[in-house]
Amino acid sequence: MPLIALGINHNTAPLELREQLSFSGDELCAALRDLESLPGVREVAVLSTCNRTEIYGSLDEDGETALRQWLNHHPNTDQEAIQRAVYEFVDEEAVRHAMRVACGLDSMVLGEPQILGQMKQAYEAALEAGTAKRVLHQLFQGSFSVAKQVRTDTGIGQNPVSVAYAAVDLARQIFAEFENHTALLLGAGETIELAAQHLNRRGIGRMIIANRSVDRAHRLADEVKAQASSLDRLPSHLVEADIIIASTASREPILTREMVKTAFRQRRHKPVLMVDIAVPRDIEASVADLSDVFLYTIDDLQQTIRENLASREQAAARALEIVDARASHLAATLSSLDAVPAIRRLRERAFDQREQTLRQAQRMLAAGRRPEDVLEYMAHTLTNRLLHEPTVALREAGEQGDRDTLDTARQLFDLGEGDEKEE
């Protein structure tokens, strides 16, 4: 082939380094063009996410060195840090790595599904740039197929293993018609950002993000099509909200029992799910005593997460078995691609020899020669013509002491020891 996967990820490089080596939009197109122009690079694709940047390539002999030099000398990067962080997989291990990535087995959150979509985008970008052809087509399509099988056969992505996802999944279980409900998010940090993204993907009808810094709330709200607000307007928002997820940095509860009780009078006691994932807590514990309130804390979710993580780890073990089996098969298929042109030329040459011999035999029959003589001529002539070049090559190998060529011939044609001696 050889096939290579080269890159850095969340396990080998901190965020600051990953940011230096990230590509999107026009940057990705330019990177693909640069990489394809390197000596020895036949095909190339780049997978760039917040957690990883990886180069997948089909190479000639000098391609690996060229790729490493390009990666290590990329502008505006800490070259020494990148050299320490880079990992490399070749041939079958590269296939296995691509499949692990597609299945979410190499992700920060085990089994997360977003990476599969990101891999598909990377493949489509390489197709559009004309840098992904026969080898990478089979690599990526094979990886997508394995990911689908793993998710179908193991259910690795079914159970949430992050606090934000678990909170939203809980809300989705309680409120079936998500598009008819309103979610109120308290805070604008990383956990609330993830919860907002999950709510948006699940089709929540309306979302309000309340934060002490309204500017920060606006930035997040713009990303997820939500309404931004300040915590000062919390009492009015409590009347509207069916789902409340809280994660602020407050040292004191920002939702008190009296505040919630007052809002409930206007809500006419419609049920509310409250998920408090802040430490210290944002919601007074006594709120749970109010009727029609379902209050969950981070400890409640953590138990679910631990159980789900154990379930995912069991699924991951089964997924690895699937990946190993499929990777070996796909690697063998990719390796055989290099032989296809040679096989085609060999068959074309044999066909030409056959046609030439057949035409000569037809002329002999037309001249009145006996069919038995013509058949003998055809068999003898075609055998000699087909074996002439291999015979010459083997004779030269014997004269030069080239044992590798002789051993390869024995394996290819099932020749025993000593069979190469002349009669």
**pLDDT at site 1:** 55
Residue 87: pLDDT band by 50, 70, 90 thresholds? very high
Alpha-carbon distance values, 327 to 48, 133, 154 (Å): 22, 19, 17
**pLDDT at site 79:** 86
| Range 356-369 average pLDDT | 92
Alpha-carbon distance values, 342 to 222, 264, 348, 349, 407 (Å): 57, 78, 10, 11, 20
Find where tokens 């055998």 sit: 383
Reported as a single tens digit per residue, the pLDDT across 101-156 is 999 999 887 888 889 999 999 999 999 999 999 999 999 999 999 999 999 999 89
| Range 291-319 average pLDDT | 88
Per the CB < 8 A criterion, the answer to whether 282 and 253 are in contact is: yes
212, with CB counted inside 10 A (0-12, 13-18, 19+), is middle
More confidently predicted of 200 and 51: 200
The one-character DSSP state at 73 is: T
State how far the Cα of 100 lies from the Cα of 321, in Å rounded to an integer: 11
| Range 397-403 average pLDDT | 84
Reported as a single tens digit per residue, the pLDDT across 345-359 is 878 888 888 899 999
**pLDDT at site 423:** 40
Residue 420 has pLDDT above 70, yes or no: no
- What residues act catalytically? 50
Residues in the chain: 423
Residue 333: pLDDT band by 50, 70, 90 thresholds? confident
User: 344-358, 360-374, 398-412: lowest mean pLDDT where?
Assistant: 398-412
**pLDDT at site 340:** 64
More confidently predicted of 77 and 216: 216
Residue 422 has pLDDT above 50, yes or no: no
Which pair of tokens denotes residue 185?
Answer: 């998010």
Q: What is the CA radius of gyration of the chain?
A: 33
Mapping DSSP to helix (H, G, I), strand (E, B) and coil, where does residue 248 land?
coil
**pLDDT at site 293:** 93
**Nearest residue to 227 via CA among 236, 214, 218, 235:** 218
Q: Where are the alpha helices (DSSP H) in 225-370?
A: 234-240, 257-267, 298-337, 340-366
Per the CB < 8 A criterion, the answer to whether 315 and 293 are in contact is: no
